[in-house]
Protein backbone atom coordinates (compact mmCIF):
# COMPACT_ATOMS: atom_id res chain seq x y z
CA UNK A 1 0.00 0.00 0.00
CA UNK A 2 1.15 3.56 -0.71
CA UNK A 3 -0.10 5.89 2.04
CA UNK A 4 -0.83 9.52 1.27
CA UNK A 5 1.34 10.46 4.27
CA UNK A 6 3.72 8.84 6.70
CA UNK A 7 4.23 10.87 9.87
CA UNK A 8 7.52 10.08 11.63
CA UNK A 9 7.37 10.63 15.40
CA UNK A 10 4.39 10.27 17.75
CA UNK A 11 4.99 13.10 20.19
CA UNK A 12 2.47 15.94 20.36
CA UNK A 13 3.59 17.32 16.98
CA UNK A 14 3.27 14.02 15.10
CA UNK A 15 0.07 12.87 16.81
CA UNK A 16 -1.75 16.17 16.23
CA UNK A 17 -0.57 16.42 12.60
CA UNK A 18 -1.64 12.83 11.93
CA UNK A 19 -5.08 13.56 13.36
CA UNK A 20 -5.56 16.58 11.07
CA UNK A 21 -4.17 14.83 7.96
CA UNK A 22 -6.30 11.71 8.44
CA UNK A 23 -9.51 13.67 7.99
CA UNK A 24 -9.21 13.17 4.23
CA UNK A 25 -6.06 11.12 3.58
CA UNK A 26 -4.52 7.73 4.39
CA UNK A 27 -1.90 8.16 7.11
CA UNK A 28 0.61 5.93 8.88
CA UNK A 29 2.46 7.11 12.02
CA UNK A 30 5.82 5.53 12.79
CA UNK A 31 7.26 5.97 16.29
CA UNK A 32 10.68 4.75 17.45
CA UNK A 33 9.64 4.18 21.07
CA UNK A 34 7.10 1.65 22.28
CA UNK A 35 5.06 4.46 23.86
CA UNK A 36 3.90 7.64 22.04
CA UNK A 37 4.86 10.81 23.93
CA UNK A 38 7.86 9.14 25.60
CA UNK A 39 10.26 12.03 24.91
CA UNK A 40 9.61 15.82 25.21
CA UNK A 41 5.83 15.58 25.03
CA UNK A 42 5.69 13.41 28.15
CA UNK A 43 8.12 15.59 30.11
CA UNK A 44 6.72 19.12 29.83
CA UNK A 45 5.49 21.53 32.48
CA UNK A 46 2.06 21.34 30.83
CA UNK A 47 1.36 25.07 30.85
CA UNK A 48 -0.53 27.24 28.39
CA UNK A 49 1.11 30.68 28.63
CA UNK A 50 -0.17 32.72 25.76
CA UNK A 51 2.36 35.50 26.40
CA UNK A 52 5.37 33.15 26.18
CA UNK A 53 7.83 32.73 23.30
CA UNK A 54 8.78 34.79 20.24
CA UNK A 55 6.26 37.21 18.72
CA UNK A 56 5.43 34.53 16.13
CA UNK A 57 5.00 31.84 18.80
CA UNK A 58 2.60 34.11 20.69
CA UNK A 59 0.48 34.56 17.58
CA UNK A 60 0.39 30.77 17.12
CA UNK A 61 -0.50 30.27 20.80
CA UNK A 62 -3.45 32.60 20.26
CA UNK A 63 -4.59 30.53 17.25
CA UNK A 64 -4.46 27.36 19.38
CA UNK A 65 -6.47 28.79 22.26
CA UNK A 66 -9.99 28.41 20.80
CA UNK A 67 -9.40 24.68 20.23
CA UNK A 68 -8.14 24.20 23.78
CA UNK A 69 -11.14 26.06 25.17
CA UNK A 70 -13.76 24.30 23.04
CA UNK A 71 -12.45 21.27 21.17
CA UNK A 72 -14.68 19.54 18.63
CA UNK A 73 -17.54 17.49 19.95
CA UNK A 74 -16.49 13.86 20.60
CA UNK A 75 -12.77 14.82 20.56
CA UNK A 76 -12.30 14.59 24.30
CA UNK A 77 -14.26 14.17 27.52
CA UNK A 78 -13.64 16.93 30.05
CA UNK A 79 -11.64 20.14 29.77
CA UNK A 80 -8.19 20.43 28.18
CA UNK A 81 -7.29 23.54 30.21
CA UNK A 82 -7.54 24.15 33.96
CA UNK A 83 -7.12 27.54 35.66
CA UNK A 84 -3.69 28.14 37.22
CA UNK A 85 -2.38 31.73 36.98
CA UNK A 86 1.28 32.72 37.16
CA UNK A 87 3.02 34.95 39.65
CA UNK A 88 6.36 36.45 38.63
CA UNK A 89 8.59 37.62 41.49
CA UNK A 90 11.86 39.54 41.64
CA UNK A 91 14.18 40.10 44.57
CA UNK A 92 16.60 42.94 45.41
CA UNK A 93 18.53 44.09 42.32
CA UNK A 94 16.34 42.19 39.85
CA UNK A 95 13.16 44.31 39.97
CA UNK A 96 13.74 45.68 36.44
CA UNK A 97 13.40 42.19 34.99
CA UNK A 98 9.66 42.32 35.60
CA UNK A 99 9.32 45.19 33.10
CA UNK A 100 9.46 42.65 30.26
CA UNK A 101 6.82 40.45 31.93
CA UNK A 102 4.47 43.44 32.29
CA UNK A 103 5.20 44.66 28.76
CA UNK A 104 4.06 41.28 27.34
CA UNK A 105 0.51 41.92 28.55
CA UNK A 106 -2.24 42.03 25.93
CA UNK A 107 -5.93 42.92 26.32
CA UNK A 108 -6.72 39.19 25.97
CA UNK A 109 -4.06 38.14 28.47
CA UNK A 110 -3.41 40.92 30.99
CA UNK A 111 -0.51 41.03 33.47
CA UNK A 112 -0.91 43.17 36.61
CA UNK A 113 1.72 44.57 38.94
CA UNK A 114 0.85 43.58 42.53
CA UNK A 115 2.52 44.49 45.82
CA UNK A 116 5.08 42.16 47.44
CA UNK A 117 2.63 41.77 50.37
CA UNK A 118 -0.08 40.56 47.96
CA UNK A 119 2.40 38.15 46.38
CA UNK A 120 3.38 36.70 49.77
CA UNK A 121 -0.27 36.25 50.65
CA UNK A 122 -0.81 34.42 47.38
CA UNK A 123 2.22 32.11 47.85
CA UNK A 124 2.99 31.53 51.53
CA UNK A 125 6.21 29.59 50.89
CA UNK A 126 8.07 32.63 49.48
CA UNK A 127 10.69 34.40 51.66
CA UNK A 128 9.67 38.03 52.19
CA UNK A 129 13.25 39.30 51.80
CA UNK A 130 13.40 37.76 48.29
CA UNK A 131 10.27 39.47 46.95
CA UNK A 132 10.59 43.19 46.27
CA UNK A 133 8.47 43.34 43.11
CA UNK A 134 5.73 41.08 41.72
CA UNK A 135 3.38 40.70 38.75
CA UNK A 136 0.41 38.38 38.24
CA UNK A 137 -0.85 36.85 34.98
CA UNK A 138 -4.25 35.25 35.62
CA UNK A 139 -4.69 33.78 32.10
CA UNK A 140 -2.01 31.07 32.43
CA UNK A 141 -3.60 27.61 32.57
CA UNK A 142 -2.57 23.96 32.99
CA UNK A 143 -2.92 21.77 29.91
CA UNK A 144 -4.13 18.17 30.29
CA UNK A 145 -1.25 16.91 28.14
CA UNK A 146 -1.82 13.15 28.43
CA UNK A 147 -5.53 13.64 27.71
CA UNK A 148 -4.72 15.79 24.66
CA UNK A 149 -2.17 13.34 23.24
CA UNK A 150 -4.53 10.42 23.88
CA UNK A 151 -7.42 12.26 22.21
CA UNK A 152 -5.36 13.04 19.10
CA UNK A 153 -4.27 9.40 18.76
CA UNK A 154 -7.74 8.04 19.46
CA UNK A 155 -9.30 10.42 16.93
CA UNK A 156 -6.61 9.51 14.40
CA UNK A 157 -7.34 5.79 14.75
CA UNK A 158 -11.09 6.45 14.56
CA UNK A 159 -10.46 8.13 11.20
CA UNK A 160 -8.73 4.98 9.96
CA UNK A 161 -5.14 6.01 10.80
CA UNK A 162 -2.56 3.37 11.64
CA UNK A 163 0.36 3.55 14.05
CA UNK A 164 3.52 1.46 14.37
CA UNK A 165 5.46 1.83 17.61
CA UNK A 166 8.90 0.51 18.58
CA UNK A 167 10.11 1.01 14.98
CA UNK A 168 12.79 3.68 14.53
CA UNK A 169 13.05 5.02 10.98
CA UNK A 170 16.51 4.08 9.70
CA UNK A 171 16.46 4.99 5.99
CA UNK A 172 14.51 7.23 3.60
CA UNK A 173 14.64 6.94 -0.16
CA UNK A 174 12.51 8.40 -2.91
CA UNK A 175 11.87 7.10 -6.40
CA UNK A 176 9.25 8.06 -9.00
CA UNK A 177 7.47 10.33 -6.54
CA UNK A 178 7.10 7.67 -3.83
CA UNK A 179 8.96 7.64 -0.52
CA UNK A 180 10.24 4.39 0.96
CA UNK A 181 10.47 4.64 4.73
CA UNK A 182 12.55 1.85 6.21
CA UNK A 183 12.35 1.06 9.91
CA UNK A 184 14.09 -1.51 12.08
CA UNK A 185 11.35 -3.96 11.01
CA UNK A 186 9.87 -3.10 7.61
CA UNK A 187 9.68 -0.74 4.65
CA UNK A 188 6.56 1.39 4.16
CA UNK A 189 5.59 3.62 1.22
CA UNK A 190 3.99 7.05 1.01
CA UNK A 191 3.53 9.95 -1.37
CA UNK A 192 4.69 12.48 1.25
CA UNK A 193 6.46 12.19 4.61
CA UNK A 194 6.24 14.42 7.68
CA UNK A 195 9.27 14.85 9.93
CA UNK A 196 7.91 15.23 13.48
CA UNK A 197 10.89 13.64 15.21
CA UNK A 198 11.44 16.35 17.83
CA UNK A 199 15.11 16.60 18.85
CA UNK A 200 16.01 14.11 16.08
CA UNK A 201 14.47 16.17 13.25
CA UNK A 202 17.82 17.18 11.70
CA UNK A 203 18.98 13.53 11.70
CA UNK A 204 15.77 12.54 9.88
CA UNK A 205 16.28 15.45 7.47
CA UNK A 206 19.74 14.13 6.65
CA UNK A 207 18.31 10.66 5.92
CA UNK A 208 16.02 12.34 3.38
CA UNK A 209 18.88 14.33 1.83
CA UNK A 210 17.60 17.68 3.14
CA UNK A 211 19.80 20.51 4.45
CA UNK A 212 19.94 20.75 8.25
CA UNK A 213 17.79 23.44 9.88
CA UNK A 214 20.33 23.93 12.69
CA UNK A 215 18.23 22.44 15.47
CA UNK A 216 19.75 22.57 18.96
CA UNK A 217 18.18 20.39 21.67
CA UNK A 218 18.42 21.93 25.13
CA UNK A 219 18.05 19.95 28.34
CA UNK A 220 15.61 21.18 30.96
CA UNK A 221 15.51 19.62 34.44
CA UNK A 222 12.59 19.23 36.83
CA UNK A 223 12.07 17.74 40.29
CA UNK A 224 8.99 16.95 42.35
CA UNK A 225 9.10 17.76 46.07
CA UNK A 226 6.59 17.61 48.91
CA UNK A 227 4.90 20.92 49.65
CA UNK A 228 5.00 22.54 53.10
CA UNK A 229 3.32 19.96 55.40
CA UNK A 230 -0.33 20.64 56.08
CA UNK A 231 -0.68 23.16 53.27
CA UNK A 232 -2.85 22.43 50.22
CA UNK A 233 -0.97 23.79 47.20
CA UNK A 234 -3.22 22.44 44.47
CA UNK A 235 -4.99 25.74 43.73
CA UNK A 236 -1.90 27.97 43.95
CA UNK A 237 -0.57 29.75 40.86
CA UNK A 238 2.84 28.82 39.53
CA UNK A 239 5.73 31.10 40.46
CA UNK A 240 8.37 32.37 38.02
CA UNK A 241 11.59 33.74 39.50
CA UNK A 242 12.73 36.63 37.32
CA UNK A 243 16.34 36.51 38.52
CA UNK A 244 17.19 33.11 37.03
CA UNK A 245 14.28 31.64 34.98
CA UNK A 246 13.46 29.08 37.71
CA UNK A 247 9.82 28.20 38.32
CA UNK A 248 7.62 26.25 40.70
CA UNK A 249 4.31 24.70 39.71
CA UNK A 250 1.79 22.79 41.82
CA UNK A 251 1.54 19.22 40.54
CA UNK A 252 -0.92 16.69 41.98
CA UNK A 253 -0.61 18.01 45.55
CA UNK A 254 3.17 18.32 45.33
CA UNK A 255 5.42 20.95 43.72
CA UNK A 256 7.27 20.70 40.43
CA UNK A 257 10.43 22.82 40.45
CA UNK A 258 12.65 23.61 37.47
CA UNK A 259 15.76 25.80 37.29
CA UNK A 260 14.71 26.81 33.78
CA UNK A 261 17.99 25.38 32.44
CA UNK A 262 18.74 25.14 28.72
CA UNK A 263 21.89 23.05 28.29
CA UNK A 264 22.68 22.08 24.67
CA UNK A 265 22.55 18.27 24.53
CA UNK A 266 22.72 15.77 21.63
CA UNK A 267 19.35 14.08 20.91
CA UNK A 268 18.92 11.21 23.37
CA UNK A 269 16.75 9.76 26.15
CA UNK A 270 17.95 12.59 28.34
CA UNK A 271 18.29 12.13 32.10
CA UNK A 272 18.71 14.77 34.80
CA UNK A 273 22.26 15.63 35.76
CA UNK A 274 22.82 14.82 39.47
CA UNK A 275 24.67 18.06 40.07
CA UNK A 276 21.85 20.11 38.48
CA UNK A 277 19.37 18.39 40.83
CA UNK A 278 21.53 19.02 43.92
CA UNK A 279 22.04 22.69 43.01
CA UNK A 280 18.30 23.08 42.40
CA UNK A 281 17.38 21.56 45.79
CA UNK A 282 19.86 23.88 47.49
CA UNK A 283 18.48 26.91 45.62
CA UNK A 284 14.92 25.97 46.60
CA UNK A 285 15.77 25.86 50.31
CA UNK A 286 17.56 29.21 50.15
CA UNK A 287 15.01 31.00 47.96
CA UNK A 288 11.82 29.68 49.60
CA UNK A 289 10.51 28.25 52.88
CA UNK A 290 10.06 24.77 51.33
CA UNK A 291 12.10 22.20 53.27
CA UNK A 292 13.51 19.69 50.75
CA UNK A 293 13.34 16.46 52.76
CA UNK A 294 12.98 14.14 49.78
CA UNK A 295 12.95 14.49 46.02
CA UNK A 296 9.99 12.35 45.00
CA UNK A 297 10.92 12.30 41.33
CA UNK A 298 13.29 14.03 38.93
CA UNK A 299 13.44 14.10 35.15
CA UNK A 300 14.82 16.02 32.21
CA UNK A 301 13.47 16.71 28.75
CA UNK A 302 14.71 18.30 25.54
CA UNK A 303 13.40 21.57 24.12
CA UNK A 304 14.59 21.92 20.53
CA UNK A 305 15.20 25.32 18.97
CA UNK A 306 16.39 26.71 15.65
CA UNK A 307 18.27 30.02 15.56
CA UNK A 308 15.20 32.30 15.65
CA UNK A 309 13.38 30.13 18.25
CA UNK A 310 10.21 29.88 16.16
CA UNK A 311 8.80 26.58 14.84
CA UNK A 312 9.76 25.04 11.50
CA UNK A 313 6.68 23.86 9.63
CA UNK A 314 6.39 23.34 5.90
CA UNK A 315 7.70 21.80 2.70
CA UNK A 316 11.42 21.37 2.31
CA UNK A 317 12.59 23.81 -0.40
CA UNK A 318 14.72 21.21 -2.19
CA UNK A 319 13.44 17.73 -1.32
CA UNK A 320 9.99 17.11 -2.84
CA UNK A 321 7.38 15.55 -0.57
CA UNK A 322 9.46 16.06 2.60
CA UNK A 323 7.67 18.19 5.18
CA UNK A 324 9.14 19.60 8.41
CA UNK A 325 7.21 19.82 11.67
CA UNK A 326 9.97 20.60 14.16
CA UNK A 327 11.62 23.23 16.39
CA UNK A 328 8.71 23.58 18.82
CA UNK A 329 11.08 24.68 21.61
CA UNK A 330 9.35 25.17 24.94
CA UNK A 331 5.94 25.78 23.36
CA UNK A 332 5.10 22.60 21.44
CA UNK A 333 2.14 21.55 23.54
CA UNK A 334 0.36 24.90 23.42
CA UNK A 335 1.11 25.47 19.72
CA UNK A 336 0.06 21.93 18.72
CA UNK A 337 -3.58 22.50 17.73
CA UNK A 338 -2.77 25.45 15.43
CA UNK A 339 0.45 24.00 13.98
CA UNK A 340 -1.22 20.65 13.26
CA UNK A 341 -3.79 22.45 11.10
CA UNK A 342 -0.98 24.43 9.46
CA UNK A 343 1.15 21.41 8.58
CA UNK A 344 -1.88 19.50 7.24
CA UNK A 345 -2.96 22.43 5.09
CA UNK A 346 0.56 23.03 3.75
CA UNK A 347 1.09 19.32 3.07
CA UNK A 348 -2.24 18.93 1.27
CA UNK A 349 -2.87 22.30 -0.40
CA UNK A 350 0.46 24.12 -0.10
CA UNK A 351 -1.18 27.00 1.77
CA UNK A 352 -1.77 28.03 5.36
CA UNK A 353 -5.23 27.98 6.99
CA UNK A 354 -7.07 31.29 6.67
CA UNK A 355 -6.77 32.18 10.37
CA UNK A 356 -2.97 32.21 9.93
CA UNK A 357 -3.12 34.54 6.91
CA UNK A 358 -5.69 36.71 8.69
CA UNK A 359 -3.09 37.64 11.32
CA UNK A 360 -0.34 37.96 8.68
CA UNK A 361 1.57 34.75 9.37
CA UNK A 362 3.03 33.58 6.06
CA UNK A 363 4.34 30.18 4.96
CA UNK A 364 7.81 31.77 4.74
CA UNK A 365 7.61 32.89 8.40
CA UNK A 366 7.35 29.31 9.62
CA UNK A 367 8.92 27.42 6.70
CA UNK A 368 12.35 25.75 6.61
CA UNK A 369 13.75 27.86 3.74
CA UNK A 370 14.31 30.83 6.10
CA UNK A 371 16.86 28.74 7.99
CA UNK A 372 18.73 27.38 5.00
CA UNK A 373 19.30 31.01 4.00
CA UNK A 374 20.51 31.97 7.49
CA UNK A 375 22.83 28.96 7.74
CA UNK A 376 24.21 29.77 4.25
CA UNK A 377 24.81 33.43 5.29
CA UNK A 378 26.65 32.33 8.44
CA UNK A 379 29.07 30.04 6.57
C1 LIG B 1 10.85 20.47 31.06
C2 LIG B 1 10.02 20.92 29.88
C3 LIG B 1 8.95 21.77 30.09
C4 LIG B 1 8.13 22.15 29.02
N5 LIG B 1 7.03 22.90 29.29
C6 LIG B 1 6.18 23.19 28.28
C7 LIG B 1 4.97 23.88 28.56
O8 LIG B 1 4.66 24.20 29.71
N9 LIG B 1 4.13 24.16 27.51
C10 LIG B 1 4.43 23.79 26.22
O11 LIG B 1 3.64 24.08 25.31
N12 LIG B 1 5.57 23.13 25.94
C13 LIG B 1 6.45 22.81 26.93
N14 LIG B 1 7.59 22.13 26.66
C15 LIG B 1 7.94 21.86 25.26
C16 LIG B 1 7.17 20.69 24.69
O17 LIG B 1 7.26 19.57 25.56
C18 LIG B 1 7.78 20.33 23.32
O19 LIG B 1 7.85 21.48 22.49
C20 LIG B 1 6.94 19.29 22.59
O21 LIG B 1 6.69 18.18 23.43
C22 LIG B 1 7.63 18.83 21.32
O23 LIG B 1 6.84 17.82 20.74
P24 LIG B 1 7.43 16.93 19.58
O25 LIG B 1 6.34 15.99 19.19
O26 LIG B 1 8.04 17.79 18.57
O27 LIG B 1 8.66 16.12 20.24
P28 LIG B 1 8.69 14.75 21.02
O29 LIG B 1 7.62 14.66 22.02
O30 LIG B 1 10.09 14.56 21.51
O31 LIG B 1 8.36 13.68 19.90
C32 LIG B 1 9.27 13.31 18.89
C33 LIG B 1 9.10 11.83 18.66
O34 LIG B 1 9.89 11.42 17.54
C35 LIG B 1 10.32 10.11 17.80
N36 LIG B 1 11.47 9.77 16.95
C37 LIG B 1 12.73 10.26 17.01
N38 LIG B 1 13.50 9.68 16.09
C39 LIG B 1 12.72 8.80 15.42
C40 LIG B 1 12.95 7.88 14.38
N41 LIG B 1 14.16 7.73 13.81
N42 LIG B 1 11.92 7.12 13.93
C43 LIG B 1 10.67 7.25 14.50
N44 LIG B 1 10.40 8.10 15.50
C45 LIG B 1 11.42 8.85 15.96
C46 LIG B 1 10.69 10.14 19.27
O47 LIG B 1 10.75 8.86 19.83
C48 LIG B 1 9.58 11.01 19.85
O49 LIG B 1 8.51 10.24 20.36
C50 LIG B 1 8.43 21.71 27.70
C51 LIG B 1 9.50 20.86 27.50
C52 LIG B 1 10.28 20.43 28.56
C53 LIG B 1 11.41 19.47 28.31
Span 22-55, pLDDT tens digits: 999 999 999 999 999 999 999 999 999 999 999 9
Instruction: Read off the pLDDT band of 374 (50, 70, 90).
Output: low
The mean predicted confidence, pLDDT, of the chain is 96
The residue-averaged pLDDT of 241-265 equals 96
71 Cβ closer than 6 Å to some ligand 1 atom: no
pTM for this predicted structure? 0.97
* Cα 333 to middle of ligand 1, angstroms: 8
* Cα 300 to middle of ligand 1, angstroms: 12
* Cα 331 to middle of ligand 1, angstroms: 10
Q: What percent of the chain has pLDDT over 90?
A: 95
Decide if pLDDT at 248 tops 80.
yes
* Cα 125 to middle of ligand 1, angstroms: 32
For ligand 1, mutation pick of 35, 37, 38, 39 (most atoms within 8 Å of CB): 39
The residue-averaged pLDDT of 130-134 equals 98
* Cα 355 to middle of ligand 1, angstroms: 25
Instruction: Read off the pLDDT band of 73 (50, 70, 90).
Output: confident
Q: What percent of the chain has pLDDT over 70?
A: 98
Question: CB within 8 A of 73, min separation 6: which ones?
Answer: none
Architecture of domain 86-138+217-304: 2-Layer Sandwich (3.30)
* Cα 171 to middle of ligand 1, angstroms: 21
222 Cβ closer than 6 Å to some ligand 1 atom: yes
299 Cβ closer than 6 Å to some ligand 1 atom: no
The domains of the chain are located at 2-73+144-215+308-378, 86-138+217-304
For ligand 1, mutation pick of 197, 277, 280, 339 (most atoms within 8 Å of CB): 197
Per residue in 301-311, pLDDT tens?
Answer: 999 999 999 99
- 2-73+144-215+308-378, superfamily in CATH? FAD/NAD(P)-binding domain (3.50.50.60)
Per residue in 326-358, pLDDT tens?
Answer: 999 999 999 999 999 999 999 999 999 999 999
| pLDDT confidence of residue 106 | 92
Amino acid sequence: MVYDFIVMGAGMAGASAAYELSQNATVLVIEAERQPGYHSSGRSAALFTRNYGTALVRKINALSEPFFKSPFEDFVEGPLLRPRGALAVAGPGHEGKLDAVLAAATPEDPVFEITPAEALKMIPFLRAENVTRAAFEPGVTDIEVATLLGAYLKGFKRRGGQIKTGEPVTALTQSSGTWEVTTSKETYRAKKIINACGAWADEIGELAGAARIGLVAKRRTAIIVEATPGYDVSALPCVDFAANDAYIKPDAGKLMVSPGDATPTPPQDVQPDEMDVAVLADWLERETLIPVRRIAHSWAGLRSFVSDESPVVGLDPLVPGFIWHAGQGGYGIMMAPALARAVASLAQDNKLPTDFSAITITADDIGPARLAIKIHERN
